Amino acid sequence: MTVWWRRSANEVDTLSWLTASLVTAWVPVLIVALGAGGVLLGEQGADAPGFQWAAVVLAALATGAIHFAARPTRRRFGTATAMVVAVLASSAVLVSGWGIARGGHGATAELVPELWWAPVAVALVVMSLSPFVPGRVFLPAGAMVAGASVLGAAFATEPLAAVSPGAEVVIAASSPLFALIGGTFLTRALIDEVQGWRSGIVDTIAVPPAREKAVSIVDRTTRGVLSADAMPFLRAIADGAPVDAATRARAAELAAELRTALIDREGSGWLGAVVATRAVHVTDPHRLADRVSLDQRAAILALIDGVFSDQTAGVYAARLELAPGGEGNVAVALTLDLELPEGRRTAVLAPYYLTAKSVVRDISWTNGRSLVVRFGVDGER
């Protein structure tokens, strides 16, 4: 089962121009222009224009639904939304075809099947839908629209009494079918390219030399506790300092500090080591951070690092919680305390949010006194 079948292009490559919801914002305008041109200039369905205007509204609503459901601040584009879009588009082409069948005989010009506006409009709907849903959703939705286009074309071409009505139907309904095929190949190619690029990413964390001194390793692991406190104490003893009860107590205290630092460093994993310099409280009792993939780690760290580094964000504390999710996945919640109005905090968070959205699942945020970002990651076993 391919990635394209399970995940949408929007999930895999959120930052691509193709998958931006703003790209679909102009499609309703184009659909209205197509419909208006077909009715006013092409006189399609001239004796019953109400059907055409109703079809224009339905097709425009379908692409409008895509635009609003695909906004970055919303959760994953759901199957139910995709089916609503498909039903609206199918209804549009059926209503248009039925209207032409009702009004075609009274029109001053016969319908030219390849110039019929409705199949072109619903083809735009299908193409607009393709980046936002996985293949298992896109194929049924696109097939529904293509099937409705065939039926609508049968309605629309009936008044023509063509010598080869089957050919007229194929010509009139070909646009949605081409959109289904084109959307499939285009999104698959995009996903394959991104997956191929990611497969070449390697962990660039510097590996200590094989012959690094044990003292250096301990000092680096304990973040300087050894060199700052323990080494001066040991040098003083080596230089002949008296060993009394206070010295023994200090030695026990330093040993406990080193042991605690080593245990904390080992127990916190990669996440604890990175957020140690930030005011971030990590709750991960099940050590789930170690199961997060490399690109997902990078997205989480970029989100934390970015908002803390932005002086205008006013972030003074954060809480990161990891818990077991369904089907072996990891549920992540990041709570940020921000001293910003909602509009400004959205502008600050958006770049990091979009980056995270490209590699995690079901990401969403909740505004309020504190901003909460929730998402799921695919745990590596």
Domain co-membership, 89 together with 30: yes
Compute the mean pLDDT over every residue in the chain, rounded to the nearest whole number.
Answer: 74
Domain residue limits at 251: 214-270
pTM above 0.85, yes or no: no
The conformational region for residue 116 under phi > 0 = left, psi -120 to 50 = alpha, else beta, is beta
Domain co-membership, 192 together with 328: no
Q: Which two three-digit tokens encode residue 86?
A: 């498909």
Domain co-membership, 7 together with 153: yes
Domain co-membership, 246 together with 282: no
pLDDT score for 105: 40
pLDDT score for 92: 93
pLDDT score for 85: 94
Domain co-membership, 173 together with 314: no
121-125, 160-164, 317-321: least confident range: 160-164
Who contacts 338 (Cβ-Cβ below 8 Å, separation ≥6)? 313, 314, 315, 345, 348, 370, 371
Assigned domain for 206 exists = no
Q: Of 124, 113, 114, nearest to 182 (Cα)?
A: 124
Residue 183 has pLDDT above 70, yes or no: yes
pLDDT per position as a tens digit, 73-104: 666 678 899 999 999 999 999 999 888 877 65
Place of tokens 């949605």: 176
Residue 17 has pLDDT above 60, yes or no: no
Domain co-membership, 224 together with 330: no
Domain co-membership, 100 together with 169: yes
| φ, ψ for residue 145, nearest 5 deg | -65, -40
**Residue 328 pLDDT class (50, 70, 90 cuts):** low
Assigned domain for 158 exists = yes
User: Based on the structure, what is the number of domains in the chain?
Assistant: 3
Domain co-membership, 103 together with 237: no
In the chain, the amino acid numbered 174 is S
Assigned domain for 220 exists = yes
pLDDT score for 207: 47
How large is the C-alpha radius of gyration of the chain?
Answer: 30
DSSP assignment of 135-180 equals: HHHHHHHHHHHHHHHHHHHHHHHGGG--SSHHHHHHHHHHHHHHHH
- Side-chain half-sphere CA neighbours of 49 within 13 A: 11
- Side-chain half-sphere CA neighbours of 109 within 13 A: 12
**Residue 62 pLDDT class (50, 70, 90 cuts):** very high
Assigned domain for 204 exists = no
Q: Of 134, 131, 179, 137, nearest to 16 (Cα)?
A: 131
| φ, ψ for residue 329, nearest 5 deg | -90, 175
Assigned domain for 159 exists = yes
Helices (H), the chain: 3-6, 9-12, 27-36, 49-69, 79-103, 117-129, 135-157, 165-199, 214-221, 225, 231-238, 245-274, 294-309, 342-357
What CATH number is associated with residue 353?
Answer: 3.30.565.10
Domain co-membership, 116 together with 153: yes
Mean pLDDT over residues 128-157, rounded?
90
C-alpha 117/C-alpha 306 separation (Å) is 48
Assigned domain for 105 exists = yes
Mean pLDDT over residues 293-309, rounded?
72
The segment with the largest mean pLDDT, out of 110-114, 233-237, 251-255, 374-378, is: 251-255
